[in-house]
Structures are given as structure tokens and as C-alpha cells.
């Protein structure tokens, strides 16, 4: 693969205290049912309920991002039970995750009656909520339930969902001490905190996945995105090319240029591997810039 990409950007984001959540391939770690009222985070369960500011006014310019993991299932059924959004500019979006990357699956706004159903054909999904800077509305109640069928194309996963503040450089390496695994689909998300505003300086510092250098072929890849939402934004924008990247040789040195100044609410990285060899993984560094 000839594509070279500069994996570096300064993303305008909003962050709060650091939090991380990790789940490995362990059936005991998966809850039967999870209920949350928080703005974003990691949910690993067979079914669950997100009730964010239900019957209360949400703020202007809010952004929340949840990782929904239903371990090794083939799909997830969602139901929007209630919502009071300012239509059509505020709402909840569902995103499907696969080895090919992220794609939008459904958009809940206040144009339709509830309950409203939607289906995501993957074992892991992203749920995002956004509000713009004008009139405020009320929150929502969104439930989900995994399909009963098992996805035999995957065996392993590990998920991180972080929020960060402070001006120190933070390094994150995945995996921390050992090679990643075959037939893995793992996620890493750094998202903003909804009260503070600032920037995040983000850089991919190391990338060593299964790779054939003589033909430039990637067996395992990462897909990297920044997420931004608003009237004039297109939500997810790729940092990596469509086919992903797998080796440092495909990554140009960091270029700090005004063109890399982007408004963003989250940075998202997916790692996907096939059934053959593995390697060391990847490392990123980022910091909050006020």
C-alpha cells in the first residue's frame, strides 16, 4: 500500500477528569443489564439503558459519546423510548463498528414518534449525543439489547473510553506489555468533557502491526477518526486512509500547520486483526491545550 498519511492533528475539544474503562474477552466481565445516566462512557452488557437528562433540560453545545459492547454478538437492537430534542439540530446517532471502520447506522431526532427502533449489525457500537448552541431541549431514554447469535469472526476485544484535562502529555500504548491478538476488534476513544473548552494535540508515535514490507500489504490495521458535530460538520472524519494503516513507514513525520487545527469532540482508534500473525501494536500521545 502506497498511501502515506500524517497522523497528527490539533483538535479542538472539551475534556474533564481522566477516566478509563477496559474489558477483555471474559464472559464474567459482561453484565446482563446496565443502566447509566452519565454523559458518555463504556457499557459492556447484553442489554442496557441510557437515560441522559430525561425530563430535564440539557445544555448548549453538549457532546456525549458512549461505547456499547455486546460481547461477541452479531448485532444490537436499539429503541428510543423517549426524547425531547430541539429538532432537527440536536439528536442521538448510532455508529456501527467493523474491521472496515465506522459507519453511521441511524439518527434519532425529534421528527418521529417514540418508541422508534433501529438495528446495528455489529458486536460493538458508538452512541453519540449532540446539542448546538441555540435553543435547549430535553434529554432521552435509549435502550439496547444484543441479538442472541454469536459472531464467530471475532475472538478478542479491549475497549477504552477516556476523558482528559491538564496540559501534560499523555502517552497511551496498546497493548501495554504483549502483542495484540488474532481476530481482535478493539476500540480507543478520547472524548471531551462537556463543561470545559480547549484543544487536544494528538500524534501517533508508534505503529507496528502485521505487515509485509516488500509488497506493502497490511494484514492488520488501525482506523483513526476525529469526531465533531454541529450544523456545518460531518461528524466522523478519517485521519487514516480508507484501508487503514499498519506500519510506521506509512506515517509521515508530524507537520504542525494551521490546516490541522480541527474542531473535534473525540478521537477514535480501532484496531482490527486477522487470524494470522500479530505484532507490537500502536502508541499515541496527546495533551490538552487550553
Report the CATH number at residue 256: 2.60.120.290
The beta strand positions in 215-265, using DSSP E, are: 217-218, 221-228, 235-238, 261-263
- Which of 120, 146, 172 corresponds to the end of one domain? 146
Shared domain check, 171 and 69: no
pLDDT, residue 178, reads 87
Q: Tell me what percent of the residues of the chain surpass a pLDDT of 70.
A: 79
**Residue 110, domain member (yes or no):** yes
- In this prediction, residue 194 carries a pLDDT of 65
Q: How many Å apart are CA 155 and CA 46, to the nearest integer?
A: 17
Q: How many distinct structural domains can be found in the chain?
A: 2
Q: Give pLDDT, residue 227.
A: 82
Domain that holds residue 264: 8-16+155-289
Residues 178 and 252 in one domain: yes
Q: Across all residues in the chain, what is the average pLDDT?
A: 82
End-of-domain residue from the set 113, 146, 179: 146
Q: Are residues 103 and 222 in the same domain?
A: no
> Residue 204: which of 250, 265, 158 has the closest Cα?
250
**pLDDT recorded at residue 263:** 52
Same domain, 107 and 185: no
Question: How is residue 162 written as a grid cell?
Answer: 477516556
Evaluate if residue 29 carries a pLDDT over 90. no
Residues 6+ apart with CB under 8 A from 279: 179, 180, 208, 209, 210, 211, 220
Same domain assignment for residues 197 and 109: no
Same domain, 136 and 63: yes
Q: Give the predicted TM-score (pTM) of the model.
A: 0.86
Same domain, 127 and 237: no
Q: Answer whether residue 1 is part of any domain.
A: no
Domain final residue pick, 146, 168, 194? 146
Instruction: Kindly state whether residues 125 and 209 are assigned to the same domain.
Output: no
| DSSP classification of residue 99 | T
Average pLDDT over residues 7-34: 47
For residues 236 and 95, give the distance between their C-alpha atoms in angstroms, rounded to a whole number: 10
For residue 269, being part of any structural domain is answered with: yes
pLDDT value at position 260? Answer: 38
Three-class SS state of 170: strand
In tens, the pLDDT along 134-168 reads 767 889 999 999 999 999 889 999 999 998 877 78
d(CA 15, CA 47): 28
Residue 181: phi and psi, rounded to 5, are -115, 165
Amino acid at each position: 500500500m502506497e498511501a502515506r498519511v500524517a497522523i497528527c492533528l490539533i483538535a479542538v475539544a472539551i475534556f474533564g477528569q481522566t477516566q478509563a474503562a477496559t474489558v477483555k474477552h471474559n464472559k464474567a466481565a459482561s453484565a446482563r443489564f446496565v443502566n447509566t445516566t452519565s454523559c458518555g462512557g463504556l457499557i459492556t452488557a447484553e442489554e442496557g439503558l441510557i437515560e441522559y437528562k430525561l425530563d430535564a433540560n440539557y445544555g448548549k453545545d453538549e457532546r456525549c459519546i458512549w461505547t456499547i459492547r455486546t460481547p461477541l454478538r452479531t448485532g444490537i437492537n436499539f429503541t428510543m423510548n423517549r426524547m425531547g430534542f430541539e429538532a432537527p439540530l440536536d439528536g442521538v446517532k448510532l455508529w456501527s463498528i467493523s474491521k472496515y471502520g465506522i459507519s453511521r447506522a441511524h439518527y434519532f431526532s425529534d421528527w418521529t414518534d417514540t418508541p422508534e427502533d433501529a438495528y446495528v449489525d455489529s458486536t460493538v457500537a458508538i452512541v453519540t449525543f449532540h446539542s448546538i448552541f441555540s435553543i435547549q431541549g430535553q434529554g432521552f431514554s435509549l435502550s439496547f439489547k444484543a441479538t442472541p447469535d454469536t459472531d464467530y469472526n471475532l475472538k478478542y476485544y479491549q475497549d477504552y473510553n477516556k476523558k482528559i484535562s491538564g496540559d501534560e502529555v499523555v502517552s497511551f500504548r496498546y497493548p501495554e506489555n504483549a502483542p495484540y491478538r488474532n481476530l481482535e476488534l478493539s476500540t480507543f476513544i478520547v472524548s471531551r468533557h462537556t463543561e470545559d473548552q480547549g484543544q487536544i494535540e494528538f500524534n501517533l508515535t508508534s505503529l507496528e502491526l502485521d505487515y509485509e514490507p516488500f509488497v506493502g500489504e497490511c494484514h492488520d490495521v488501525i482506523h483513526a477518526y476525529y469526531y465533531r458535530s454541529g450544523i456545518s460538520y460531518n461528524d466522523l472524519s478519517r485521519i487514516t486512509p480508507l484501508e487503514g494503516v499498519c506500519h510506521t513507514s506509512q506515517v509521515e513525520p508530524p507537520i504542525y500547520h494551521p490546516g490541522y487545527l480541527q474542531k473535534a469532540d473525540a478521537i477514535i482508534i480501532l484496531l482490527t486483526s486477522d487470524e494470522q500473525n500479530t505484532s507490537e501494536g500502536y502508541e499515541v500521545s496527546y495533551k490538552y491545550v487550553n
